Chains A and B, each alone.
Chain A
């Protein structure tokens, strides 16, 4: 088994109202100095050793992320 981590983030040009709300809440709570927050999704996939990075990228691009609005990164967690 290998563990892959896929992080999915809204594209920079896509408005992220949830991230903005978190940033606003931090400011209200007195955490100064946070200039911006963007919120995404973090996936941990336990996969057979036969699956390579390309296979996980296909998984990410097909289901985990919507390429119209999101970018993603793939990395091995056990490397």
Chain B
């Protein structure tokens, strides 16, 4: 790989957390490359982050319109070819709408927008984005969403559990009523991860509840070095 991994961070109309995602990438020691929703290619990046926010105003369904943005075609091709791709919150919704990750995110069971620091269990430490964690580690990073209830067909849930693809689970009170307390899942090739909580908001104890989120970005950088 090149000296520093180049991480593309996509900005859609309505993205909010692209700035923090880019900052987390730089803090991890990688190079953040801005990608625009209308871009026709990925500018040679080594990994892609689909950040949080309200792309296209969440019109129709969260992520439903963003998944058809021009930049998403090359993202899907690259992901299927093994490029590390991370979807955070709205980015997770977009990757599910695109079919890159199974299941869907629907309105929180309690209807409220939930914004708080959330304890999570790292279920899988063998994905491109979680190799820097101890398996079973407990971490604290923020959640902030109204449509974060993970749902999937019963067969899909069984398959995810059997294949060890539930990457993060909520600990304690669930923020959204997600099936099996699922906070994040990965693709079959373990290179694509989506989660509702925001690791990019927890990379520095000065500004977040912990620095527990940083390892996601350093993990992906390490996975590029090992590739």
Contact = CB atoms under 8 A, between A and B. Distances in A.
Interface of A: 10, 13-15, 17-18, 21, 63-64, 66, 68-69
B64 A14 contact: no
A49 B120 CA distance: 53
A66 B104 contact: yes
A68 B149 CA distance: 14
Contact of B106 (A21, A63, A64, A69): A69
Chain B interface main SS type: loop
B104 A15 contact: no
A66 B61 contact: yes
A68 B96 CA distance: 9
Contacts of A13: 154
- Which 4 A-B residue pairs are closest in the complex by CB-CB distance? A68-B104, A69-B104, A17-B111, A17-B107
23 contacts: A13-B154, A14-B106, A14-B151, A15-B109, A15-B149, A15-B151, A17-B107, A17-B108, A17-B110, A17-B149, A17-B177, A18-B111, A21-B111, A63-B65, A66-B97, A66-B104, A68-B96, A68-B102, A68-B103, A68-B104, A68-B152, A68-B153, A69-B106
Contacts of A64: 60
B144 to A, nearest CB: 18
Interface residues of B, number: 22
A18 B147 CA distance: 12
Nearest to A10: B106
A14 B154 CA distance: 11
Contacts of A21: 111
Contacts of A66: 61, 64, 97, 104
Contacts of B154: 13
Contacts of A15: 106, 109, 149, 151, 177
Interface in B12-65: 60-61, 64-65
Contacts of B64: 63, 66
A17 B61 CA distance: 15
A17 B104 contact: no
Nearest to B97: A66
A10 B151 CA distance: 12
A72 to B, nearest CB: 13
Nearest to A65: B61
Interface string B83-105: 00000000000001100001110
Contacts of A68: 96, 102-104, 151-153
A38 B128 CA distance: 40
Given A17-B111, A21-B111, A69-B106, A63 B151 contact: no
A21 B103 CA distance: 24
